[in-house]
Amino acid sequence: MNLQNLAYALDQSIHNLGAVAVTAGAVAAIFSKEKRRYAWLVLTGWAVQGATGALFGIISYSFYGHLPDIGGIAVDALVIKMICAVSGFAIAALYLWKSGSWGEKAKKGAWHALATFAFVAITSAAFLRWFS
């Protein structure tokens, strides 16, 4: 068994679970009364996305001595994914911290933004994958 492929596969598996958490959590919260529980799920999912995304680079650097060689559309897609992760994490954290003082419109807007960031990140992942 190739240790590098195992490391990438394990990282990808955890990364995929993070993607499920941010996407399904945000969409489910839109239709649920238990929004706080979903906020924790989405916050954790975005943290997992960030950590496992960084781990892809660490694995590459460990085995090759440099970061992955990507350019063009792949770099743009990676930047978009990173913006989504930071924004999604921030909104979920703000929701947990401050939403008690928010109106219903602001709460609804936060969940729609979280769902949008999740879908944009997943779409960007496809571009990153196929253009790298």
Summarize the confidence of residues 17-21 as an average pLDDT. Answer: 97
Q: What is the pLDDT of residues 25-42, one digit of tens each?
A: 999 999 999 899 999 999
Position 111 confidence tier, pLDDT thresholds 50, 70, 90: very high
Query: What range does the domain containing 79 cover?
Result: 3-130
Position 94 confidence tier, pLDDT thresholds 50, 70, 90: very high
- Distance between first and last Cα of the chain: 24
Domain count, the chain: 1
Contact predicate 105/51, CB 8 Å? no
User: How many residues are listed for the chain in this entry?
Assistant: 132
Q: What is the pLDDT of residues 38-64, one digit of tens each?
A: 999 999 999 999 999 999 999 999 998
